[in-house]
Amino acid sequence: MLTMMDEAQTGVGRTGHMFAFENEGAVPDILTLSKTLGCGLPLTSVSTTAEVEQGCKEAGFLWPTTHLNGPLTAAVGNKVLEIVELDNICQHAAKRGAQLREGL
C-alpha cells in the first residue's frame, strides 16, 4: 500500500521538523507541498520514492503541466528552504510549540 502525505499546512518547519511526518517516524511514498513552500506564491511540489517514479514511467504516466519547472517559482522555493535552514526555523518552531503546550 502506498502512503501519500499532503503537507500544505504543516510542511517546511512549522511543526518543529522540516516535515510533519517526521514527528511520527513515517516516510511517505508521495509527498505534496504547496502553501508553506511558496510562502505566498502559488507553488506546489510532488516528491516520490524511486519505486513510485519507476512505476509511473512503466505505466506511461506523465505529469504534464503548463507551469512545470518555472524559474520564478523554483527560485522562490529554493529561497524559502534556504531561509528555513539558515534561520533555524525548525528549532524555533519546536521551542514555541513546547512553550504553547506548557502554557495550555
CATH number of the domain enclosing 93: 3.40.640.10
User: Which residues, 6+ apart, have CB-to-CB distance to 20 below 8 Å?
Assistant: 5, 7, 10, 11, 14
Please state the rounded mean pLDDT for residues 68-93.
92
What range does the domain containing 62 cover? 4-103
What pLDDT, in 10s, does the model give residues 14-60?
999 999 999 888 899 999 998 889 888 888 889 999 999 999 999 99
Q: At residue 92, does pLDDT exceed 90?
A: yes
Under DSSP, the state recorded for 5 is E
Beta strands in 1-104 (DSSP E): 4-6, 30-33, 45-48
What pLDDT, in 10s, does the model give residues 57-79?
999 987 777 777 788 888 999 99
Number of domains in the chain: 1
pTM of the model: 0.81
